[in-house]
Structure 1
Amino acid sequence: MALNLADRSVSAARCPEGRKDVLLFDDALPGFGLRVTSGGTRTFIFQYRVEAKVRRMVLGTFGAELTTAQARKKAESLRGQVRDARDPVAERRAVRIAAAKAEAAEKAARAAATYTVDAMITHWAADHLAERSDSYANRVPAELRRALAEWKKAPADGFTQADAVRTLDAIKTERGPIAANRLRAVARACWGWAVKRGALASNPWEATPRPARETARERVLSDAEVGALWTAAAGLDAPMSSIVRLLLLTGQRRGEVAGMQWDELHLDAAMWAMPGNRTKNGKPHSVPLPAEAVALLLDVKRRRGAVLVFEGARETVPSGFGKTKARLDAAMVKAAKEGGRKLPAWTLHDIRRTVATGLQRLGVRLEVTEALLNHVSGSRSGIVGVYQRHGWEREKAEAVKAWSAHLLRCAEAKPKAAEDAAKVADMAEHRARRGKRA
């Protein structure tokens, strides 16, 4: 329907009964129209064609936004654009899309500026490390922050592969290639977590060269070295003397022994029960204590209100294991020279491997050794780990008793007892096999 659109005719226009709306077009300006709804709303429009498609644009509402003359002026401008082979609807849509993209980019830039390396490490630790032991969850983010101190306040997405390589080179120079390997593994895991969550587009650590090749350590202390270490530990100051001897007696991890808490100990039952948040694999772990370990712990003076058995400075877990190791080395080198031997390089973690190997030599079953050391590998993984729920408590108690006896014999310079025990175990196994054949 066409008519001369003016304020008077627009005000008088009505929507026919029974219809939702009606379109009225101006008889002088092609495409200029008015939409009248059944509710009385009057909206100016401009309609045109692009090839076979009809385009329609809203100009505004009569009265509240536009007069008829103002709407006609807008329509005339749009009509001129159409005559110039332009598409006002497409152009307006393109402007809206560009504005939305610009706003999104600005928002992303603001988010990137606030998602710093430090913030990423915080989120990663809270989410990814929540199920790890407390000591690991606290230590690893702190070490990562120290290594990346220069970038802590920088946007995480601005950290490049070149930055990663430079950081690894610096750590390799300052602390050695193994420390650089550890940093690379932890940083790659942190950035990888952020990529998987969509917070970052790429992981700059993924393509970095590995600082050094590593081979699995195989160092096991000999019986003479075990005896020398036990004796050397007696010369250390408290609490390191007790800590090193407990490492030898129990085979547990250094952080677990150093961070031992009073509420974990049940000395009347000769038992040490660690909760999952204190173990490497996150599983609760019970350690039977031999008489020598109980005696060591009974000698520790407990401060009122103390949580830790071995408190360091500021009521924290003891530190300074590097100096402790140096003192032990000096004492053991002296003992080795007196015995006409040399002392190969060793680490405190080698104690754990030494205990495991010693238990095997004493005839302890592999499942019992792994249960005692809280180590999940071939014998306790897969379907066995799911369905095997025997805790080996009695066997573990017997194992630590046998090991402590062997340890004291080593300290008394009688290591041959270990060989004798192994021979006895072999003989017993041989007799058992022969009995089955019979």
Structure 2
Amino acid sequence: MPRAINKLSQLTVAKTTKPGLYADGGNLYLQITSAGVKSWLFRYMRKGKPRGMGLGPVHTIGLAEARALALTCRRQLLDDIDPIDAREAKRKAETTAAADEISFQHCAEKYIEAHRTGWKNAKHADQWTNTLTTYAYPIFDSRSVAAIDTTLVMKVLEPIWATKTETASRLRGRIESVLDWATVRGYRTGENPARLKGHLDTLLPKRSRVQKVTHHPALPYADLSAFMPKLRAQEGTAARALEVLILTATRTNEVIGATWSEFDLDEGVWTIPAERMKMRKEHRVPRSARAIALVKMQQEVKRGDYVFPGRRDKSPLSNMAMLQLLERMKRDDITVHGFRSTFRDWAGETTHYPREVCEAALAHGIKDKAEAAYARGDLFVKRAALMQDWANFCA
């Protein structure tokens, strides 16, 4: 009568090369892949479903050791313990024990380093570090990331939630992200104590009740006729950059970071690459006649790759240059970014262009995901007409 267990021999294990499963008995199998890799497999049924647990490669785990491991698995099954679940639980326990030595600060630094290259603005890493260093690290101290709970998170947020609401809100999101990262890494388990929806929103007042919404001060579009001649009378790169920003309804960073390679002056198109856009989507800006003329004026004083260079040829204009220009013009009552609101108010109140055309001119994303899925075009032709009308109004 053939043996029901210990069927294989050392010689059989060594010489067998054909891909397949070879039973040793007692749920233990020699597994050979199509690539010729040999390993041990423990196969069993659990709640009516087949499961397979790898025990290791043949070159590391010998036949005797594989039989011993299979025996342990069979004993676990007799005790109604799933061997795979037991192994996973052991690994998690070991990881959690090791995490006792891993602090929240360590995880935060690793998170920032991992995401640094993905952030479109290099300042984001500094902002993350500064807010966490100022508010979170002193409270969390050297505690392990696994020990961070709701009480500690609230101790960080409560003192500044009402007085520095925007900072507190961003700080909460950053803590939540770090804790999520730590959970995925296996350094902590359970719910995220920094989660807002269904958790902290029951403990903290709504932002709308404690934070006054403030908008960028904007120039009323009716005052543009008086403002634009004064702007055009100003000398320097900042004045030309600000006029281009107004005529294109773009953002500060998009203008000062503009390079010559982005412009097709013959076609009258400025293509801003996705990595420089807030929505991470390439944006084609139709240029009005005046905007094209301004860029051509910059060609006459061209130095370096930037259309609006700073004091050094290889660096762009400072992001404060246009704001400082407004201050010199005695217009510290408005902001550079506010000109986008000026354009939007003019377009919405004095023209018949559809809302989606006006929003596309500002490179705003579509919040409705279903609508966004079907909005494949960029309405360029209609936007070209809109921007020329805007330039005529500004003139």
Given the two structures, how large is their TM-score scaled by the length of structure 2?
Answer: 0.60
Greater helix proportion = 1
AA aligned to 1:319 is: S
1:183 and 1:115 map into 2 onto residues whose CA distance is: 19
Partner in structure 1 of residue 363 of structure 2: 374
What is the CA distance between 1:400 and its match in structure 2?
Answer: 0.8
Equivalent of 1:142 in 110, 126, 134: 126
Distance 1:100 1:286, change over 3 A: closer
Asked whether the equivalents of residues 250 and 340 of structure 2 are also in contact (C-alpha less than 8 Å), the reply is: yes
Partner in structure 2 of residue 63 of structure 1: none
What is the CA distance between 1:179 and its match in structure 2?
Answer: 4.9
Q: Determine if the alignment matches structure 1 residue 270 to structure 2 residue 268.
A: yes
1:283 and 1:183 map into 2 onto residues whose CA distance is: 24
Distance 1:19 1:275, change over 3 A: closer
AA aligned to 2:110 is: A
Partner in structure 1 of residue 388 of structure 2: 401
Distance 1:234 1:221, change over 3 A: same
Distance 1:236 1:182, change over 3 A: farther
Partner in structure 1 of residue 109 of structure 2: 118
Equivalent of 2:295 in 291, 294, 297: 297
What is the CA distance between 1:290 and its match in structure 2?
Answer: 1.0
1:406 and 1:167 map into 2 onto residues whose CA distance is: 50
Percent identical: 19
Gaps of 5+ in 2: 7-89
2:227 and 2:180 map into 1 onto residues whose CA distance is: 42
2:289 and 2:115 map into 1 onto residues whose CA distance is: 43
Which is further off, 395-404 or 237-246?
Answer: 237-246
Larger Rg computed on CA atoms: 1
| Cα displacement string for residues 129-180 of structure 1 (whole angstroms, at most 9, x for unaligned residues) | x4x6x23xx332221112233649966556676776676689899xx83652
1:185 and 1:240 map into 2 onto residues whose CA distance is: 37
What is the CA distance between 1:356 and its match in structure 2?
Answer: 1.7
Distance 1:189 1:107, change over 3 A: closer
Distance 1:158 1:228, change over 3 A: farther
1:19 and 1:282 map into 2 onto residues whose CA distance is: 64
What is the CA distance between 1:222 and its match in structure 2?
Answer: 1.8
Gaps of 5+ in 1: 1-16, 22-98, 334-342, 409-438
Asked whether the equivalents of residues 221 and 345 of structure 2 are also in contact (C-alpha less than 8 Å), the reply is: no
2:309 and 2:172 map into 1 onto residues whose CA distance is: 31
Counting only pairs closer than 5 Å after superposition, residues 71-110 of structure 1 correspond to structure 2 as 104-110=95-101
- Compute the RMSD of aligned alpha carbons: 4.3
What is the CA distance between 1:287 and its match in structure 2?
Answer: 0.4
Partner in structure 1 of residue 181 of structure 2: 194
| Cα displacement string for residues 311-336 of structure 1 (whole angstroms, at most 9, x for unaligned residues) | 34664443352x74355156355xxx
1:320 and 1:169 map into 2 onto residues whose CA distance is: 33
Distance 1:349 1:169, change over 3 A: farther
SS of the residue aligned with 1:286?
Answer: strand
Partner in structure 1 of residue 255 of structure 2: 257
Counting only pairs closer than 5 Å after superposition, residues 146-161 of structure 1 correspond to structure 2 as 146-149=130-133, 151=137
1:166 and 1:347 map into 2 onto residues whose CA distance is: 36
AA aligned to 2:112 is: I
What is the CA distance between 1:251 and its match in structure 2?
Answer: 0.7
